[in-house]
Chains A and B, each alone.
Chain A
Amino acid sequence: MGVTILHQFPMLENRTGPQTIEFLTKRIVALGAVQMGQFLVDCDSYISMPSLGPQRTVHVLHNSEQPASVFSILETNTKTIPLVADGLFDLLMLKMTPIYTKKVAKIESKGPRFELADFCIKLGSVTISQNFKGVLVEVEYRPCVVPSNCVGLMREFLQGFLGSCVQSLPACLQNKMDEVYQPMDTIQQYLDHFLNFRKMAGYSG
């Protein structure tokens, strides 16, 4: 697992989602990347019953890069608790329906996955219940595990094919620059972007 940066690619007025993906695919293939399959990251959110005290939200995410794991992030008013579990966690959530009533529509990002030398690039189109919302570009540099080491390198690579829209690093990476990067950090970045998309679409949660 190498350092990963997730970046939202701004949509132009006259371009649809598939057109944007195709446009980025052309650029990345011109750099010499090879398509290696597809990827999918999805997120379900469950909200606790109001009668059980202060509201809590559980986000359950799956990443096709770690197919045997289920990631969950529990949000309370004061803190967020991340948890990595195996596939059985999904079944456990089904049993929890009396406490956590599912309320929010599923949001997912999926699309082609490319490899270029040691980089892994994923062009995901984000959909909330089949409605297209935007484009998320994920770039992973697999040899490097400490974000502070490869910030400059990643920025150069991102600017190389996304253009000058790449400015700063994701907020959730800023305070763990010197720690070893974990798959959970990728999930956290996806969740941050997903919540933004939901907010824009007017969903609560």
Chain B
Amino acid sequence: MENLYAALTSVKVLRCSVGQIFNSLANGIRADHGEEGRDTKFLSEIEELLNAVTHHLRDVEQAVNNLSQPPGPLTLGNTNFLSQECTQERQALYSQLVLSYKWTDKIHEYSNHAAALLSQNSLKRSYMNPGSAKRRRTQTSSHNVSPQAVDTVISAIDRQFNDMTMSISRPFATNAVLQVSLGRVLQAVIAFKGLMIEWVVVKGYGEAFDLWTDSRHKVFRKITENSHAAMLHFYSPTLPELAVRSFMTWFHSYITLFSEPCKKCGSHLHCALPPTWRDLRTLEPFHEECKL
């Protein structure tokens, strides 16, 4: 590598000195050659320059001799094909390179922000969590709950609210899937893992109960999103029962989804949507845009 750099530098020097010769030849005899014997002065200057060129040429030859043959053909990937097209304008490389550079820069910036945010909020709820031994034990306790215990907790919550009916099914082995009907306002499917709420889908009255498709109404898709936020907010590994109970209390406040106006702006509609957010502590209704 060193040799290669040396060779490239010597080639550069040679080109410089050749350039100089042509430069002075083109200029011809200048004023600083004086009046007397200016031809000889000029000739001697050219001769000097030519000597420098021969000297530099020798340098180049020496440097080239020092270079070793590269082992095997060079693999350049797709850049090989660049030699096929020789006009630079038609390759349009520069703008694409700038664009991709900008993208990488942006991705780098965003991922930095995301990493900072995620490290602050511990939303990891899976077994993959490499926490301390103690933490892992408490987590297991919210996952491995007997089906009877889950049933008792849910039926206790069911009794607490008159206008919310719940039914439990277990299509996936021991884990419960809860179907909730909230008055005639909305329905929800909540998937549990032990006593941990794992997934929530909110749908309209009369839509099919199923875990995989979104509601066809925009309001309920928005509430599904908000329920996910609430489920993460209420999650507590040490008191799983309390987490489910608080989530259900929060969820029950949607019974007034269409009838109660936003607490902040006082109107029902904003962007053609009713107040889809309920405050996590006070349960007051807010529009998505008004809650801040």
Is A119 at the interface (CB under 8 A from chain B)?
yes
Is A11 at the interface (CB under 8 A from chain B)?
no
Interface residues of A in 126-144 (CB under 8 A from B): 141-144
| A118 x B272 contact (CB < 8 A) | yes
What residue of chain A has the Cβ atom nearest to residue B217's Cβ?
A: A143
Number of chain A residues whose Cβ lies closer than 8 Å to a Cβ of chain B: 22
Q: Which residues of B contact A145 (CB under 8 A)?
A: 184, 204-206
Is B271 at the interface (CB under 8 A from chain A)?
yes
Is B237 at the interface (CB under 8 A from chain A)?
no
| A142 x B269 contact (CB < 8 A) | no
Is A201 at the interface (CB under 8 A from chain B)?
no
Q: Which residues of B contact A195 (CB under 8 A)?
A: none
What residue of chain A has the Cβ atom nearest to residue B259's Cβ?
A: A149
Known contacts A117-B218, A142-B217, A143-B217; A31/B272 CB under 8 A: yes
Is A32 at the interface (CB under 8 A from chain B)?
yes
| Interface locus among A42-50, A84-92, A151-159 | A151-159
| A118 x B269 contact (CB < 8 A) | no
Known contacts A149-B185, A152-B259; A143/B220 CB under 8 A: yes
Is B64 at the interface (CB under 8 A from chain A)?
no
A182 to chain B, nearest CB (A): 12
Known contacts A117-B218, A118-B219, A144-B258; A156/B272 CB under 8 A: no
Interface residues of A in 142-173 (CB under 8 A from B): 142-146, 148-153, 156-157, 160
Is B245 at the interface (CB under 8 A from chain A)?
no
**A11-41 vs B, Cβ < 8 Å mask (1 yes, 0 no):** 0000000000000000000011000000000
| B184 x A118 contact (CB < 8 A) | no
Q: Max chain A CB contacts within 10 Å: which of B205, B267, B272, B273?
A: B272
Task: Give the bracket for the number of chain B residues in contact with chain A.
Answer: 20 to 34
Interface residues of B in 42-67 (CB under 8 A from A): none
| B205 x A156 contact (CB < 8 A) | no
| B217 x A180 contact (CB < 8 A) | no
Q: Which residues of B contact A157 (CB under 8 A)?
A: 268-269, 272
A28 to chain B, nearest CB (A): 11
Q: Which residues of B contact A150 (CB under 8 A)?
A: 258-259
Q: Which of B184, B205, B220, B269 is close to A160, meaning CB atoms less than 8 Å apart?
A: B269
What residue of chain B has the Cβ atom nearest to residue A146's Cβ?
A: B184
Q: Which residues of A contact B185 (CB under 8 A)?
A: 144, 146, 149
Q: Which of B205, B218, B220, B269 is close to A153, meaning CB atoms less than 8 Å apart?
A: B269
**B214-226 vs A, Cβ < 8 Å mask (1 yes, 0 no):** 0001111000000
Chain B facing A: main interface SS: loop
The docked-state distance in angstroms from the alpha carbon of A151 to that of B256 is 12
Q: Which of B184, B259, B267, B272 is close to A32, meaning CB atoms less than 8 Å apart?
A: B272
B276 to chain A, nearest CB (A): 11
The docked-state distance in angstroms from the alpha carbon of A144 to that of B269 is 14
Q: Max chain A CB contacts within 10 Å: which of B205, B218, B257, B268?
A: B268
Q: Max chain B CB contacts within 10 Å: which of A152, A157, A160?
A: A152
Q: Which residues of A contact B272 (CB under 8 A)?
A: 31-32, 116-119, 157
Q: Which residues of B contact A148 (CB under 8 A)?
A: 259
Q: Which residues of A contact B268 (CB under 8 A)?
A: 152-153, 156-157
What residue of chain A has the Cβ atom nearest to residue B267's Cβ?
A: A156
Is B274 at the interface (CB under 8 A from chain A)?
yes
The docked-state distance in angstroms from the alpha carbon of A148 to that of B259 is 8
| B261 x A118 contact (CB < 8 A) | no
The docked-state distance in angstroms from the alpha carbon of A195 to that of B186 is 36
Interface residues of B in 196-213 (CB under 8 A from A): 204-206
The docked-state distance in angstroms from the alpha carbon of A138 to that of B47 is 99
Q: Which residues of B contact A119 (CB under 8 A)?
A: 272
**B260-292 vs A, Cβ < 8 Å mask (1 yes, 0 no):** 010000011101111000000000000000000
The docked-state distance in angstroms from the alpha carbon of A32 to that of B271 is 9
11 pairs across A/B with beta carbons < 8 Å? A118-B272, A118-B273, A142-B217, A143-B186, A143-B217, A146-B185, A149-B258, A153-B268, A156-B269, A157-B268, A160-B269
Given contacts A32-B272, A118-B217, A119-B272, 19 further A-B contacts (CB under 8 A): A117-B218, A118-B218, A118-B273, A141-B258, A143-B204, A143-B219, A143-B258, A145-B184, A146-B184, A146-B185, A148-B259, A149-B184, A149-B185, A149-B257, A149-B258, A156-B267, A156-B269, A157-B269, A180-B184
Which positions in B face A, CB cutoff 8 Å? Answer: 184-186, 204-206, 217-220, 257-259, 261, 267-269, 271-274
- List 3 tightest A-B contacts by C-beta distance, closest first: A117-B272, A150-B258, A143-B217
